[in-house]
Structure 1
């Protein structure tokens, strides 16, 4: 609101006492400047709810709405002195934005190999994950087990990958995580 709009909301008695350079005019200017940041946000409110256009500081908040904060619990911890300057996930805010945008799809496919593979690829920003279902890392049959072979480029995100697999796999399924270089030459069944 501008100071002249605020002036219209004042009782008649106050409106009559307004003078250029008077203290009431100064107070109206301060009130107008206090409204300005809120009005700026409200003018572009739709951009806050789109994960691809939301301000960086708002993206983790959107992730909480989509229940993705379970993958970066330390970021959300309210410890005194905790630094919030870093990105919530190791692959950066861009990957978190894409996770938020894909949340409905990922929720639909939760507990499946397809859903887990897509989740890992979006979260890390690295393609090429392979899932061997009902086989161990040596290719031997093992019921209710999945061997996840991650590309070497995903190694810096290992902790994030482990958190995702723990949360997204069915509870009765065991898993092992191997790097792609450790399994080179082995063919996928």
Structure 2
């Protein structure tokens, strides 16, 4: 609110005595300046809810609101200034996860949702799920997933395990295999 607008709200006796250099004039100047930062934020409030436009510091808050905080790194308070991004794969991947949250929530507990979650969180394509993986006796192992991850994604193994644990149905077990370059796999 501008000083002149505030001045119009004052009683007539104050309006008639308003002159530059008086205490009342200075007080109205301060009253105009104090809410300016808040008004600037409110003018662009939509920016804070768009994961691609919001400041980096606000993205983790959006992630927490969307129940993605289980994936964020715990950063000690004394290292917050020089800390890495709160998601091991980077701030851009966290922005993508926040943007994909409606889809991921709709498909939670399904192979389609898990694959999309893994690809979005890591930025790497090529994950595969085998829902009918053979057990030690070569027969399908019920309620067991075989998750094959591209070798490039192995650096995000802890993140991948967190995602699988939180997105798979509770009664399902899983095994990870890292796909090597020529289609070979290494169990882990």
After TM superposition, the score normalised by the length of structure 2 is: 0.85
Q: CA RMSD in A?
A: 2.5
- The change in CA–CA distance for 1:8 and 1:92 in structure 2 (over 3 A counts) is farther
Structure 1 residue 150 displacement after superposition = 1.1
Structure 1 residue runs of 4+, over 6 Å off?
Answer: none
1:145: Cα distance to partner?
Answer: 0.8
Aligned pair in 2 of structure 1 residues 142, 41: CA closer, same or farther (>3 Å)? same
* Distance in 2 (alpha carbons) for counterparts of 1:145 and 1:135: 7
| Counterparts in 2 of 1:66 and 1:3: CA distance versus 1, 3 Å | same
- Give me the whole-angstrom Cα distance separating, in 2, the residues matched to 1:107 and 1:158: 22
* 1:167 matches 2:166: yes
- Partner residue, 1:126: 124
Q: Which moved more, 1:14-23 or 1:108-117?
A: 14-23
Say whether 1:64 aligns with 2:64: yes
**Structure 1 residues 14 and 82 mapped into 2: Cα distance closer, same or farther (>3 Å)?**
farther
Unmatched segments (≥5 aa) in structure 1: none
5+ long unaligned stretches in structure 2:
none
1:27 aligns with 2:58: no
* Cα displacement (A) at 1:171: 0.3
TM-score, normalization by structure 1: 0.84
- For the Cα contact (< 8 Å) 2:151–2:181, is it kept in 1? no
For 2:74 and 2:175, locate their aligned partners in 1 and report how far apart those are by CA, in whole Å.
24
